[in-house]
Every structure is written in structure tokens, then in C-alpha cells.
Amino acid sequence: MLAIQTQLFEAQDVRFAPIDYETHPAVESKWTHDAKFMRLMEITPIRPLSAEMVKKSYENIEKEMDEDKNLFYFAIQTRENNQFIGKALIEWIDWPNSNGFLRLGIGEAEYRRKGYGSQALQMLLRFAFNELNLYRVTAVVPAYNEGAIRLFQKFGFVEEVRRRKAIQRDAKTWDLISFGLLNAEWRDQVKGQE
């Protein structure tokens, strides 16, 4: 159970922050030019975006958060120097059934494979299950994204659906895997860590 004094938006090395229209567009624009990262983060066709295009997408994100209330977007920043290193989302929330989809990625290459994604996922799950009181969350991952598969399995996600040969990359087809985690399963894990 989350204690009132537990920081909801901070972990050991990272914190969640809102969109910063001054600095984030240029940083995220750089990430969109990194095809390897974008293919791990997105399952839709990718393309490089200018800082102005990213800024426009932020406007759309904030509009959807305000109007539709089925998207929560967080910038992932380092606690040490507030550097914007990634993003975390809960999206496509189905409020009547208390379900949501998770996505997260560390865009800054030097911060990958150092535990920042694990800390961000831990905060995202805390927010989804304690603050939003979702019943379940889903993460959809292409089979070639082995790092994300290991991360979700580490947090107790269960493979629920495997859509065979559902995504194409570089003239190859890959399975698309849906992982799910229930609120009660997550709470059991948290109890075991106390």
C-alpha cells in the first residue's frame, strides 16, 4: 500500500515532469531522428519531426489530456540535473472498464540500460493503480524489442496475446505481444517488497 509520504512522481534517479514547451521539442525532435529508438517506442510508421512539429504534438497531447481525460503524459527527467531523457504515458484509458495502456521510452541513449526505465515504470504503475485506480494495464510490444519484454516481465506482466507476424520492419515480419498486469497482482508484488 502506498504511504501518503511516498513520492508519487519521484524515484531514486528520475522524476516525472510536465511538458516544457521551451526545451523539450528540440530534444524530442532529435530522438525522432534515431530510427532505432523510434522503432522500439512506436509501432506505427516513423518519421523525423522538427521541433515545431513536436511542439504541435505536445499541444495535441495536452488538449487530449484536458478534454478527453483518457491520456496521461509525463516527461521523464533526471533528478540530478532535470535533463529530459524520456517519456511515459498511460493512454487509451477505458474508464468504464478501468483499463489503460502503458508506453515508455528513454530517448537519450546514454541513459538507457541504467535502470531509469525501471524506475519510470515503477512510478507509472504506482500512478495507474493508486492514483487512477485502474483495474488493469496493458503494454503492447513488438517481439524484436527484447529489452521492453524483459522489463515488463520483471514487473510481473503476463503475455496475454501474441498477434503473429503483425508488424513489418525492414522486409521482416514480427509478432506483436500484449502484456497485461492486474492491480491485485501489482499490489501483491509491492507487499512482497515491503
Residue 164 has phi, psi (to 5 degrees) of: -65, 135
The pLDDT of residue 121 is 97
The pLDDT of residue 5 is 54
Sites in the chain below the pLDDT cut of 50: 1-2
Q: What is the pTM of this model?
A: 0.91
The pLDDT of residue 150 is 96
What does R_g of the chain's alpha carbons equal in angstroms?
A: 16
The pLDDT of residue 43 is 86
The pLDDT of residue 1 is 46
Assigned fold of 14-193? Aminopeptidase (3.40.630)
Quick: pLDDT tens for 47-79. 999 999 999 999 999 999 999 999 999 999 999
Q: What amino acid occupies position 109?
A: A
The pLDDT of residue 128 is 97
Q: What are the boundaries of each domain within the chain?
A: 14-193
DSSP state string for the chain: ---TTS-SSB-SSEEEE---TTTHHHHHHHHHT-HHHHHHH-SS------HHHHHHHHHHHHHHHHHT---EEEEEEETTT--EEEEEEEEEEEGGGTEEEEEEEE-SGGGTTSSHHHHHHHHHHHIIIIIS--SEEEEEEETT-HHHHHHHHHTT-EEEEEEEEEEEETTEEEEEEEEEEEHHHHHHHHHHH-
Residue closest to 146 by CA, chosen among 173, 119, 174, 122? 174
The pLDDT of residue 137 is 98
